[in-house]
Amino acid sequence: MHIKILGSGCAKCNRLEQLTREAVAELGIEASFEHVKEMDRIMAYPIMTTPALVVDEAVKVSGRMPSKDELLAWLKAG
């Protein structure tokens, strides 16, 4: 599983990465992380606001902080 956090590195973006890492650890799954901060790469995804979470190239959420339950459900589903 490849997880991308899209965002400039603001507090919300960093918090999303931290929460996602915690959810991955809780589920005991293998995942690689990438924090995409370059605006041209972020704009390649169909999002209007950051932070955004991309799992295996599928945008799961953008513009808001998901709940832990949402994160766990998305990560379980792959």
Catalytically annotated residues: 10, 13
Cα distance from N-terminal residue to C-terminal residue, the chain: 7
Residue entry with tokens 């959810």: 23
What count of residues does the chain have?
78
Task: Compute CA 48 distance to the chain's CA centroid, rounded to the nearest angstrom.
Answer: 15
Question: Do residues 53 and 13 lie in contact, with contact meaning Cβ atoms separated by under 8 Å?
Answer: no
